[in-house]
Amino acid sequence: MELTITDLDRSLAFYTEVLGLAVLRRGPRSATLGVGAEELVVLHEDAGARRPGRESGLYHFALLFPTRAELARVAMRLARTRTPIDGASDHGTHEAIYLADPDEIGLELAADRPRELWPDLTSADFFSHGPAPLDVRSLLVSVADEPPSQVAAPGLKIGHVHLHVGDLGSATRFYRDGLGLSVMTELPTAVFVSFAGYHHHVAYNLWRGPGVPGAAADAVGLRHWTLILVGEAELAAVRDRLTALGFAPSIEADGALLARDGANIAVRIATGAAGD
C-alpha cells in the first residue's frame, strides 16, 4: 500500500505513535512502515499534493488486526493520544473503528470475528439495516487491566481497500473478470468483492457521484495497492484477462504487473506468499 502524503514527519508520528507501526526504512522523502519484517505502508512526501475533490480514488484502507484484543489496544492508543475518530461499527463479520490520518486519508482499524459467527453474506438483508454500533465499552474493558501498548503486534495486515469510482460496471469488469475476485455483496451504489469467501478484499462505490473523473496523480491518497498471487501461472492468467478486457498492464522490472482500473486507480500484481 503506497500513499502520497504532504508532511512525512507528521505522518510518521501518527502511524508510529498512534497506530503502532514501526519504521522499517526511511529516506529523505519516503518511509516504509510495518510490523516485524512485514511491510505494510509506504509513505511518499509531496508537499504540493492537493486534497482530492469529487473524483475517483481511495475511500479508505483497512488495517486488519489479528485479534480483538489487538483492536482494543489500538483503540486505547487512540484514546490516550486524543485522536479523533469518524465512527465505530459492528458489521457482524468484523468490528471496525474509522478515522483519518493527518492528510485525511481514510483508515479502518478492524478485527474479524471467527468465520463461523459471520452472517450470511449473500442474504438480501445483510446490508439492509446497515452496521450496528460498535460496543466500545466491551472492547476497551477487554484490555483495561493491561499496561499501555505502544506497538502493534505481529499479524497485522492490510485487510481491504475501499475505493471511490465513477462506474460500478467498469470496476466489476476489472476486479471480478480481470483480477478474479468474486462478488460477495452488490448494492445499488457499492460492490464488495473478495477471494475465498471473505467478506471483502476490495470494495468500490459511487458515493462521490456516478461518472466522476478518474484518480489524479497530483492528489493526496493512494499511489497503488498490491495484490499477491500464488504463482507465475496465475499471474500470467491475470495479465491475459486484463489485456483481453482492455486493461493491459505494464510489466515492471521485477516481473510484477502494474494495472489501472477504469477509474485510473493502480494495483501492483505480484507473486509471493501473502499480500495486501
Residue 178, C-beta contacts closer than 8 angstroms, at least 6 positions apart: 238, 241, 242, 245, 247, 259
Burial class from Cβ neighbours inside 10 Å (0-12, 13-18, 19+) for residue 180 reads middle
Domains in the chain (CATH in brackets) are 2-222 (3.10.180.10)
Quick one: which H or E segment has residue 239?
A: helix 232-244
The pLDDT, as a whole number, for residue 276 is 38
| Buried residues in 135-155 as b, exposed as e (16+ CB within 10 A) | eeeebeebbeeeeebeebbee
CB 19 within 8 A of CB 165: no
Residue 225 to residues 118, 173, 247: CA-CA distances in angstroms? 27, 18, 16
Q: How far apart, in whole angstroms, are the C-alpha atoms of residue 43 and residue 271? A: 22
Q: How far apart, in whole angstroms, are the C-alpha atoms of residue 205 and residue 56? A: 9
The pLDDT, as a whole number, for residue 243 is 98
Q: What is the pLDDT along the chain (276 residues), one digit of tens a residue?
A: 999 999 999 999 999 999 999 999 999 999 999 999 899 999 999 999 999 999 999 999 999 999 999 999 999 999 999 999 999 999 999 999 999 999 999 999 999 999 999 988 776 566 666 789 999 999 999 999 999 899 999 999 999 999 999 999 999 999 999 999 999 999 999 999 999 999 999 999 999 999 999 999 999 999 999 999 989 999 999 999 999 999 999 999 999 999 999 999 999 999 985 433
Task: Give the SS3 label for residue 116.
Answer: helix
Reported pTM: 0.94
Q: Indicate the residue type of 30.
A: S
Q: How far apart, in whole angstroms, are the C-alpha atoms of residue 253 and residue 234? A: 18
CA angle, residues 55, 56, 62, in degrees to nearest 5 = 130
